[in-house]
Amino acid sequence: MVSAADVTVDDFLGGRVRLIQPRKGYRAGIDPVLLQASVDARAGQRVLELGCGAGAAIVCLNARIPGLTLTGVEREPLYADLARRNCAALEVVEADLADLPLCIRQRQFDHVIANPPYWSRSASVPGQDSAKEAAFDERTPLRLWVEVAARRLAPKGLMHFIHRAERLPDLIRALPHDMGSIEVLPIAARTGRAPHRIILRARKSGRGDFRLHPALILHEGDSHTDGDRYTAPVRAALREGAALEF
């Protein structure tokens, strides 16, 4: 177990969530909070997060929508331990998503969420922090993340992924044939900027038309000199635990 000197306790959702995180290594930012804010779940439903880390996304989802049945899969022992400490209601299964144990493979979920690693180290230099590398380095192909998520969904269940905007084609190509009703929410830093993130939603056995939503703008103003004030919907999601319109 990591010592108290090696962690910090950080406020999320305006203090409704206090998350224990490593002082060094991967630390959750706004992406997992925006991911969970896009999930339209209701009490009694089952939620699985692949690669849950210390639990930022799924713990914030639990604070926003009480009464969910929560399961997280995390490969790194350090983060799995922190996730357990961060939420007593969260079942954390320490495993690689490429080799899930039977206790996960025998179950179906109403929602599967994921914030996969963003970078391939085939095109960059790895760092020295092994846990941080695991969070950023795409060792497991993105295609496999999508396929595993789809297999774990119950009929009509929803998948939500957040990723870099340039990986949207890869995400869509990886969707199995039984995933439909695809929706994409682009996320841009400011008005007029190209989106740098996207949230992808898809439904098991969905038959709805593809929908590309207007971009979610993070910051007010045209440039950094105007300050980094969040726009109203982003501020409500990050500070007040509000859902994102999706």
Tens-digit pLDDT profile for residues 185-217: 999 999 999 999 999 999 999 999 999 999 999
DSSP structure class, residue 230: B
User: What pLDDT shows up at residue 4?
Assistant: 63
User: What pLDDT shows up at residue 55?
Assistant: 98
Confidence of residue 245 (pLDDT cuts 50, 70, 90): confident
Mean pLDDT of 120-133: 52
Which of 65-69, 86-90, 95-99, 226-230 has the lowest average pLDDT?
226-230
Mean pLDDT of 137-145: 86
CA angle (152 as vertex; 146, 153 as ends), nearest 5: 95
Confidence of residue 45 (pLDDT cuts 50, 70, 90): very high
Burial environment of residue 21 by CB neighbours within 10 A (0 to 12, 13 to 18, 19 or more): buried
Mean pLDDT of 60-69: 98
Confidence of residue 119 (pLDDT cuts 50, 70, 90): confident
217 neighbors 231 (Cβ within 8 angstroms): yes
Structural domains of the chain ordered from first start: 42-140 (3.40.50.150), 160-246 (3.40.50.150)
User: What pLDDT shows up at residue 116?
Assistant: 97
User: What pLDDT shows up at residue 138?
Assistant: 59
Q: Please state, rounded to an integer, the average pLDDT across all residues of the chain.
A: 92
User: What pLDDT shows up at residue 120?
Assistant: 65
Q: Which residue has the tokens 């950023």?
A: 136
Residue 137, strand partner residues: 119
User: What pLDDT shows up at residue 121?
Assistant: 45
Residues across the chain: 246
pLDDT of residue 241 exceeding 80, the answer is yes
Confidence of residue 228 (pLDDT cuts 50, 70, 90): low
User: What pLDDT shows up at residue 154?
Assistant: 98
User: What pLDDT shows up at residue 52?
Assistant: 98
User: What pLDDT shows up at residue 145?
Assistant: 98
User: What pLDDT shows up at residue 73?
Assistant: 98
Q: How far apart are CA 48 and CA 77, in angstroms?
A: 18
Burial environment of residue 237 by CB neighbours within 10 A (0 to 12, 13 to 18, 19 or more): buried
Mean pLDDT of 88-95: 97
- What percentage of the chain exceeds 70 in pLDDT? 89
